[in-house]
């Protein structure tokens, strides 16, 4: 009698069962009670479908051969599988593929009797091996060789075309008795499917293919052309990309803090708002969609509360902004790797013909992280600085390794992953960078890897006569903050160009810096002499800055120059400010201070805000903020893979459950025996026992114990699964049996 899957599983060692659970993690959720449950799950179509997604082209070909041999109905010898695969299949490759199938419990049994899970027939193509269905009649008789030898040349051409696969053909003239198709139908060498469709029987296809019943197989991976870019060049390029993407995300946060886009009723962000964000970041819309998706997934941006929510930066964005570039990049890179979405879908049409918006549900793809890891893993197999020839070549290799993965977007996903990784600096020049390798293999080392890749922070800038400053590399954090305050970034890259304007200098003065502070900073931090024009700009703005002082009355305005106060009151735009003079040098307004100062600046004045002590008060707008959605451990991520200890405990639990299922059937044999005598014998012989009992609440339970002592009306022993110590009163035991084959020696 053929061995069943559950019996085969029982005969395997614990290491084999642990490997099965590691390769097919869905079988362990929830933990199976025993091996019977495990075997049942292993044969479910959905689970078999997932298990086959990891098989390469050769293993899938072996699976198709097993289906052709009807191994799902009755065990078949390995020799029959080898015959169907043909002489091109090396014995070692066949052994390796059968081993991979056994590890996943898709195939079981020894080589003389290979059995296949029935659900595998639903997984393989409709015509396994490109062969049609078995037929009766002439095609399935011993007369087939003579029939094939007697066919006419035009009939042979039809047969050869169908034998090459697929075995289905359409012919409008197929009903004509004198046509080649009509004559082949009459001879029984073709089968009628419908009035315009015919099928080549399997026996005929195998006969025509000769020694290769399944045709020519692709047994080796496609060649992957590579180029040596140089590890240093790749890392320097990746470092520049990393700094660039940090700057772009900063611009997005600042832009959406000022003008947050609304959340669409269907979710996501509108096309026009995405286009505006792309213009602000100076990137294309595809890159903008990626950065928007990352900002939301990293909890730097989120929907605000309220009836009409907007996409607003979170308070977490402010924490992120003060971190070093390594920490900030690490968050974005890890978020991208585990992002369960495909930003490359943004802008394409959905099934209803509507464009897919960024941040919408249509972009969600739970398997996207797995596909990104496959792409990076393919690059990581190459040496440092070694690049693939093209995304298409890499897609071909990955498709050979796992033909069933990715669906209709399989090859496009590879291109998207490479493009996104290049934007982030995970990949540069089609080679994985050192930080990218750390992201994939050792995430604890990402910060160190990026720090070694980035150029050392510089503590100076080069001031130019055209009121610009050039930063020849990443600036020290303190200098970067000061320069961002008193200048605007004109262009970013390996060297960042800042421009000084009247508005930026006034912004620095508004934040509490004095003209002397700015002059000192420029003189101390510039490697070139401070241009006279920049000195004049700072002095000119500072001379006019703060001559008017605003406070809260709701707000007030004061100046030591009463003529200036009179000028403000006489200005046409002052009517809307509702100013009222209460002293020669003081006026008040019912407007909030921020609105008063903005109105004065729009009229051409340069007021400054002050606090109750007269010091300059920074009222610059940092944009809207909302609360973050996640709190540390609440952040959703991929579930961790079980480690060896967890798998061992799960296997032990199944073994224990399997033992319980067996001893329940034999418990009746001991029903009339003495419970106390049986327990004492088990202690003396160091044997395990199965105990059925009723607890203090009247609930029935059962347990396998290794009893260590019996006395005082109680049996004490350790659980056979987890080793925990238990005490069971003898009067609560309802049934008991020795566990065969289990002792503590």
**Bridge partner residues of 388 (DSSP):** 226
Do 173 and 76 lie in one domain? The reply is no
Same domain, 317 and 405: yes
Provide CB contacts within 8 A for 730, sequence distance 6+: 675, 676, 679, 710, 713, 714, 715
pLDDT of residue 428: 94
> pLDDT value at position 70?
92
Encoding tokens for residue 377?
A: 């893993």
In whole angstroms, what is the distance from residue 625 CA to residue 253 CA?
10
Mean local confidence (pLDDT), 424-444: 92
Q: Which residue has the higher pLDDT, 636 or 234?
A: 234
Q: Name which of 399, 339, 402, 346 is nearest 365 in CA terms.
A: 339
Domain assignment present for 335: yes
For 609, the 3-state DSSP assignment is strand
Three-state secondary structure along 316-360? HHHHHHCCCHHHHHHHHHHHHHCCCECHHHCCCECCCCCECCCCC
Q: Which two tokens stand for residue 66?
A: 């097993």
Rounded average pLDDT over 494-518: 88
Q: Give pLDDT, residue 252.
A: 95
* pLDDT bucket at 636, cuts 50 / 70 / 90: very low
Residues 476 and 495 in one domain: yes
For residue 651, give every residue at least 6 positions away whose Cβ sits within 8 Å of its Cβ, in sequence order, or none: 14, 17, 18, 21
Structure tokens at 64: 């198709």
For residues 484 and 626, give the distance between their C-alpha atoms in angstroms, rounded to a whole number.
24
Per DSSP, what are the bridge partners of residue 496? 471
In this prediction, residue 638 carries a pLDDT of 46
**How far lies 76's CA from each of 11, 209, 349, in Å?**
20, 22, 48
Between the alpha carbon of residue 564 and those of residues 579, 586, 648, the distances in Å are 14, 11, 84
Query: Which pLDDT belongs to residue 635?
Result: 44
Q: Is residue 343 part of a domain?
A: yes
Return the CATH number at 47. 1.10.10
Q: Which residues span the domain enclosing 554? A: 549-609
What are the two backbone dihedrals, phi and then psi, of residue 470, each rounded to the nearest 5 degrees?
Answer: -110, 125
Residue 161 CA to residue 184 CA, distance in Å, equals: 13
167, 130 Cβ separation under 8 angstroms: yes
- List the single range of 584-593, 682-691, 734-743 with lowest mean pLDDT: 734-743
Q: Where are the alpha helices (DSSP H) in 86-198?
A: 91-103, 144-149, 153-163, 180-187
Q: What is the mean pLDDT of residues 656-667?
A: 61
Task: Examine the pLDDT at 227 and tell me if it is beyond 90.
Answer: yes
Residue 634 is assigned to a structural domain of this protein: no
Match 């035991």 to its residue by tokens: 733
Residue 215's pLDDT is 87
Note whether residue 637 is domain-resident: no
Examine the domain organization and report whether 26 and 71 are in the same domain: yes
Residue 503 included in any domain: yes
pLDDT, tens digit, 9 for 90 and up, residues 273-325 = 999 999 999 999 999 999 999 999 999 999 988 788 999 999 899 889 888 88
User: Do both 109 and 258 map to the same domain?
Assistant: no
H or E, element range at 710: strand 700-711
Q: What is the model's pLDDT at position 474? A: 81
Looking at the structure, do residues 355 and 440 belong to the same domain, yes or no?
A: yes
Q: Which two structure tokens, joined as six digits, stand for 98?
A: 């059968």
- The pLDDT assigned to 730 comes to 81
Q: What is the pLDDT of residue 664?
A: 52
My answer on whether 474 and 415 are in the same domain is no
Answer with the residue of higher pLDDT: 665 or 26: 26
Instruction: Give the confidence band of 671 by pLDDT, cuts at 50, 70, 90.
Output: very low
The partner residues of 302 in beta bridges, in order of sequence, read 312
Final residue of a domain: which of 500, 518, 538? 538
301-303 and 462-463: which strand pairing?
Answer: unpaired
584 against 713, higher pLDDT = 584
CATH number of the domain that residue 684 is part of:
2.30.30.100
Residues 578 and 600 in one domain: yes
Tens digit of pLDDT for each residue in 148-182?
Answer: 888 888 888 988 898 887 888 887 655 677 888 88
Query: What DSSP string describes 393-421?
Result: HHHHHHHHH-TTSSGGGHHHHHHHHHHHH
pLDDT, one tens digit per residue, over 374-404 is 999 999 999 999 999 899 999 999 999 998 8
Q: Is residue 194 part of a domain?
A: yes
Residues 340 and 245 in one domain: yes
**Residue 630 pLDDT more than 90?**
no
| pLDDT mean over 493-513 | 86
Q: What is the DSSP letter of 136?
A: -
Describe the chain by its helix, strand, coil percentages, rounded to 5: 50, 15, 35
Is 119 a domain residue? yes
- Both tokens of residue 50? 């997932």
Specify the length of the chain in residues. Answer: 745
| One domain for residues 60 and 160 | no
Contact of 292 with 277, CB cutoff 8 Å: yes
Give the residue with greater pLDDT, 15 vs 454.
15
Q: Please, what is the average pLDDT of the chain? A: 86
Residue 627 in domain: no
Same domain? For 93 and 169 the reply is no
- In a shared domain, residues 120 and 190: no
Do residues 215 and 68 touch, judged by C-beta distance below 8 A?
no
Peptide bond into 622 cis (omega under 30): no
pLDDT (tens digit per residue) in 23-47: 999 998 888 888 888 998 999 998 9
The number of domains in the chain is: 6
Residue 425: which pLDDT band, with cuts at 50, 70 and 90?
A: very high
Q: Exposure of 663 by Cβ count < 10 A (0-12 exposed, 13-18 middle, 19+ buried)?
A: buried
Asked whether residue 632 carries a pLDDT value surpassing 60, the answer given is: no
Parallel, antiparallel, or unpaired: how do β-strands 608-609 and 549-551 relate? parallel
Q: pTM score, two decimals?
A: 0.73
């Amino acid at each position: 009698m053929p061995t069943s899957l559950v019996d085969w599983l029982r005969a395997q060692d614990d290491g084999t069962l642990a490997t099965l659970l590691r390769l097919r993690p869905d079988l362990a959720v929830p933990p199976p009670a025993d091996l019977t449950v495990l075997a049942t799950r292993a044969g479910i179509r959905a689970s078999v479908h997932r298990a086959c997604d990891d098989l390469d082209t050769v293993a899938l070909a072996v699976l198709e051969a097993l289906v052709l041999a009807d191994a799902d109905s009755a065990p078949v010898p390995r020799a029959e599988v080898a015959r169907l695969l043909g002489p091109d299949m090396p014995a070692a490759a066949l052994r390796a593929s059968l081993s991979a199938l056994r590890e996943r419990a898709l195939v079981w049994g020894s080589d003389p009797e290979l059995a296949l899970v029935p659900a595998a027939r639903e997984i393989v193509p409709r015509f396994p091996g490109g062969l049609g269905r078995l037929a009766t009649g002439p095609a399935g008789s011993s007369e087939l060789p003579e029939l094939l030898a007697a066919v006419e040349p035009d009939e042979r051409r039809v047969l050869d075309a169908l034998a090459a696969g697929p075995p289905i053909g359409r012919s409008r003239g197929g009903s004509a008795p004198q046509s080649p198709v009509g004559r082949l139908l009459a001879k029984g060498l073709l089968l009628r499917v419908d009035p315009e469709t015919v099928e080549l029987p399997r026996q005929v296809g195998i006969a025509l293919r000769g020694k290769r019943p399944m045709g020519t197989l692709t047994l080796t991976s496609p060649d992957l052309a590579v180029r040596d870019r140089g590890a240093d060049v790749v890392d320097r390029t990746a470092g520049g990309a990393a700094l660039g993407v940090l700057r772009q995300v900063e611009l997005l946060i600042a832009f959406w803090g000022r003008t947050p886009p609304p959340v669409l009723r269907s979710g996501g962000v509108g096309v026009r708002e995405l286009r505006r964000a792309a213009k602000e970041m100076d990137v294309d819309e595809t890159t903008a969609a990626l950065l928007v998706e990352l900002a939301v997934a990293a909890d730097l941006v989120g929907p605000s509360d309220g009836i009409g929510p907007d996409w607003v930066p979170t308070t977490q964005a402010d924490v992120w902004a003060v971190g070093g570039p390594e920490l900030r990049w690490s968050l974005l890179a890890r978020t991208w790797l585990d992002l369960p979405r495909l930003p490359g879908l943004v802008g394409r049409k959905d099934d209803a013909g509507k464009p897919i918006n960024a941040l919408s549900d249509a972009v969600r793809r739970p398997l996207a992280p797995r596909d990104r890891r496959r792409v990076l893993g393919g690059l990581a197999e190459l040496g440092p600085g070694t690049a693939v020839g093209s995304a298409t070549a890499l897609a071909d290799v990955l498709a050979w390794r796992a033909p069933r993965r990715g669906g209709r977007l399989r090859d496009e996903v590879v291109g998207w992953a490479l493009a996104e990784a290049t934007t982030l600096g995970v990949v540069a020049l089609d080679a994985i960078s050192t930080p990218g390798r750390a992201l994939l293999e050792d995430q604890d080392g990402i910060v160190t890897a990026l720090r070694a890749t980035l150029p050392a922070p510089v503590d100076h800038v080069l001031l130019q006569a055209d009121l610009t400053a050039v930063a020849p590399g990443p600036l020290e954090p303190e200098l970067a903050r000061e320069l961002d305050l008193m200048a605007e970034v004109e262009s970013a890259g390996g060297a960042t160009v800042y421009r000084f304007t009247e508005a930026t200098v006034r912004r620095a003065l508004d934040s509490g810096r004095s003209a002397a502070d700015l002059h000192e900073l420029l003189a101390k931090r510039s490697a070139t002499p401070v241009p006279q024009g920049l000195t004049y700009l700072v002095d000119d703005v500072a001379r006019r800055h703060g001559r008017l002082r605003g406070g809260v009355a709701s707000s007030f305005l004061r100046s030591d120059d009463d003529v200036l106060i009179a000028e403000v009151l006489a200005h046409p735009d002052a009517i809307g400010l509702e100013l009222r003079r209460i002293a020669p040098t003081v006026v008040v307004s019912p407007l909030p201070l921020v609105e008063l100062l903005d109105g004065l600046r729009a009229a051409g004045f340069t007021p400054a805000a002050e606090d109750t002590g007269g010091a300059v008060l920074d009222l610059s707008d940092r944009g809207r903020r909302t609360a973050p959605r996640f709190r540390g451990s609440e952040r959703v991520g991929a579930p961790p893979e079980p480690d060896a200890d967890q798998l061992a405990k799960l296997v032990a639990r199944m073994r224990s459950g399997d033992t319980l299922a067996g001893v329940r059937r034999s418990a009746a044999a001991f029903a009339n025996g003495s419970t106390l005598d049986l327990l004492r014998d088990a202690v003396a012989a160091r044997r395990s026992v199965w105990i059925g009992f009723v607890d203090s609440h009247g609930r029935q339970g059962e347990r396998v114990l290794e009893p260590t002592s019996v006395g005082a009306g109680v049996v004490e022993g350790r659980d056979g699964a987890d080793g925990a110590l238990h005490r069971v009163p003898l009067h609560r035991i309802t049934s008991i049996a020795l566990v065969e084959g289990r002792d503590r020696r």
